[in-house]
Amino acid sequence: MNRNTPECPFCGRFISRPDEIKTGFGSVLGGSCECGTIYVCDPTGHNTGEAYMEALALAKGNWQISGIEEDVDYETVNLDYDEKSHQVLYSKGHTSLSGRLVFIKVKVRQEEISRPVHRDIIGTITQGSKGMTKERVRDLLELRACDEVAAMARQNKGVIRWLISFTYDKQDVISWRAIEAIGVISRTFSKEMMEALRDTIRRLLWSMGEESGGIGWSAAEMLGEIVSGDPDAFNDIIPIIWSFKEEEMFRAGIVWAMGRIAMLRPELVSFVLEDLPEMMEDRNPVVRGYTVRLMGLLPEALSTGSGRQQISKLLDDTSPVPVYNEGELLTRTVAEIAREVLHKASK
């Protein structure tokens, strides 16, 4: 594996080590080349889609990025990168576990887009965001103070980005509380923050697509929380979420999302019923467990004997399923979930 000092892929100049950039839409780890190229660092290599969206937002100056197109308005290059040594990595036939540098070079004329961010913004602080840090948000999640997090997000939309960054380890209860907090933001401030929430939805959907490399690990759960926060405002997103059900890595989260929506508006997800029998036989026990849970929330699913019969087949399934409930991450078995659903149905 070869290591070299990072150069801008568009002009060949050496670039500075990525630094924290505080903007009106949150903090970003990145920088800019003298030629105007923007770059953002993903230190882990697991959040490249988020880094890509951040780089676009930096290049444009805001999150209104849905109207610009790659190879028409901008070019992009990704490089494997080690943040600690500030070196790019080159290897053949080997998948690196390094981080990434995402470069965005704007192609359109300067007057056609908002002014790009340059190095002079580094270190500036958004008005009204004093005391709002990623660490502070995590502290609040430790306390499950989701209302306080939502209030922070109302003042600083960058808080949503921080929450997303906490959601990549679903074995950690903090990830689930971050997902819950996004739902609280939607439920409490959806009318005031509609633009920010719609931008978040676009980013999450993009992160689930092939062009992102399938990096939106918890995107489905977050989308479910946003929709459940204001089902009337976001009901158009529901079939789009379900359209990703064939993607194995997202399937459990998608079923979970449908369950969250069904808790409030079951009629909005009743169209998924015909797909549930197949999902009850999925090889992933989490999908099976979440599907049974979803069936228990849809009256039509249990209105016939066939639905209950399908659930009864899982009464001996002792496979573990993580279930987030009332701020705690519990482990249930598929059988326990099935028994609970059948017990409620019998009443």
Average pLDDT value over all residues in the chain: 84
How far, in Å, CA of 270 to CA of 123, rounded?
50
Would you tell me the crossing angle of helices 305-312 and 285-295 to the nearest 10 degrees? 150
156-172: average pLDDT: 88
184, pLDDT greater than 70: yes
- The more confidently predicted of residues 264 and 161 is 264
| Helices 285-295 and 334-346, packing angle to 10 deg | 10
What would the 3-class secondary structure string for 310-340 be? Answer: HHHCCCCCCCEEEEEECCEEEEEEHHHHHHH
- At 216 the pLDDT is 62
Under 8 Å CB-to-CB from 300, ≥6 apart: which residues? 270, 273
Q: Taking the model in full, what pTM does it have?
A: 0.65
Q: How many C-beta neighbours within 10 Å does residue 199 have?
A: 21
Q: Write down the pLDDT at residue 102.
A: 92
The listed range with the strongest mean pLDDT (4-13, 167-176, 298-307) is 167-176
CA angle, 277 then 283 then 288, to 5°: 50
For 247-304, write each residue's pLDDT tens digit.
999 999 999 999 999 999 999 999 999 999 999 999 999 999 999 999 999 988 887 7
pLDDT confidence of residue 26: 65
Amino acid at 306: S
pLDDT at 236: 94
